[in-house]
Amino acid sequence: MTRSKLLIIISFFSIYVIWGSTYLLNKIAVTEIPPLLISSIRFGIAGILIMIIAKLLNHPLKITKKQLLNTTIAGFLFLVYGNGVFVWALKFVDSGFAALLASTQPLFVLFLLRLIDGKKMQRKSIIGVLLGMVGMYLLVSQEQIATSDGMIIGIFMILTCVLSWSYGSVFVSKADLPKNFFVSTGYQMIIASLMLFFCSFIFKEDTTAILNISPKVQLVMVALIFFGSIVAFTAFNYLLKNVSPEKVTTSAYVNPVIALLLGWAILDEKLTNQSILASAILLAGVYFITSRKRVTKTKVNTSQKA
């Protein structure tokens, strides 16, 4: 096996398993650390490390005022609202369930492109949208959701996060950002970290909780920072340059499966027959949408999953 093939296999493992596991890791972390603080610490450390890597690779860190503004907007859409609120919602929603809701992002992007750019939907897209709507209905119409405390508000907030991610994806595809992905993401993470810490203070989160976390959650935070934010991100960008974008986008429907299995196996999250059926239909819809050739022209910023 050649070195390049081995790197491709390792990279796919990273975007499939590592990103799929971040839902579980965040679910565990939020049991001891306030959600906004989790994201602030995670992206602050990861952002600094990514900028150090960029500097070591001799990438220029200087950006224009316009790029700084756009980077701030992207950081808010992806990391402050998209991730910070998502982690908050994990207090009420199972990690696997949340991952399935997040997998609807291609559907949201499609609607936004139609709304903003007036792009017509291809036949595959229409089939994907219909399947996605059926899968979503089956997923959220289960009886236990209506009777669970906070479940409905958790689902609603996650869907607003998906909308934020989706709009961020459309925004980034057109915005003037630093050309190097390390520099762009580094700035996004550092700026978002500062905003998240400010929000944590405003909402009076217990910032001293970080001083009393268990060894298990300490390991979880390390995994989120180094593997979820740096390793998987680097692997994603490596794949974009070495394999077809269609293959890279398969993570959109592999991640939820990984998250469902991990949540069921480790956290004993319930996996009903209706959830399994809804998952199959929903992910089939995502497949039809992401298999469109034109969708690859709008690159989805990976910070949302990082």
Q: What percent of the chain has pLDDT over 90?
A: 59
- The average confidence (pLDDT) of the chain is 88
Q: From CA 167, how far away is CA 9, in angstroms rounded?
A: 31
Say how many C-beta atoms besides its own lie within 10 A of residue 157's C-beta. 18
User: How much is the CA Rg of the chain, to the nearest whole Å?
Assistant: 19
pLDDT of residue 295: 44
pTM recorded for the entire structure: 0.88
First to last CA, the chain: 29
Name the E strands within 257-305: none
DSSP states of 90-143: TTTS-HHHHHHHHTTHHHHHHHHHHHHH-PPPPHHHHHHHHHHHHHHHHHHT-H
pLDDT of residue 13: 93
Q: From CA 96, how far away is CA 102, in angstroms rounded?
A: 10
pLDDT band of 298, cuts 50, 70, 90: very low
**Which residue from 204, 254, 275, 289 is spatially nearest to 12, judged by alpha carbons?**
254
pLDDT band of 296, cuts 50, 70, 90: very low
pLDDT in tens, 112-157: 888 887 777 788 888 988 998 899 888 888 877 766 778 889 999 9
**Which has more confidence, 141 or 213?**
213
Instruction: Report whether 19 contacts 305 (CB < 8 A).
Output: yes
Q: From CA 282, how far away is CA 182, in angstroms rounded?
A: 32
pLDDT band of 82, cuts 50, 70, 90: very high
Residue 287 pLDDT greater than 90, yes or no: no
Q: Which residue reads 């998240």 in tokens?
A: 196
pLDDT of residue 19: 92
pLDDT of residue 297: 46
> Which amino acid is residue 175, in one-letter code?
A
Q: What percent of the chain has pLDDT over 70?
A: 94
DSSP states of 196-265: HHHHHHHTT--GGGGGG--HHHHHHHHIIIIIIIIIHHHHHHHHHHHS-HHHHTTHHHHHHHHHHHHHHH
Q: From CA 205, how far away is CA 88, in angstroms rounded?
A: 12
pLDDT of residue 302: 46
pLDDT of residue 246: 65
Of how many residues is the chain composed? 306
- Eight-state DSSP code of residue 304: G
User: How much is the average pLDDT of 26-42?
Assistant: 96
pLDDT in tens, 158-209: 999 999 999 998 898 889 999 888 899 999 999 999 999 999 999 999 999 9
Residue 34 pLDDT greater than 50, yes or no: yes
pLDDT in tens, 216-230: 999 999 999 999 988
Residue 264 pLDDT greater than 50, yes or no: yes
**Which has more confidence, 299 or 124?**
124
Residue 293 pLDDT greater than 70, yes or no: no
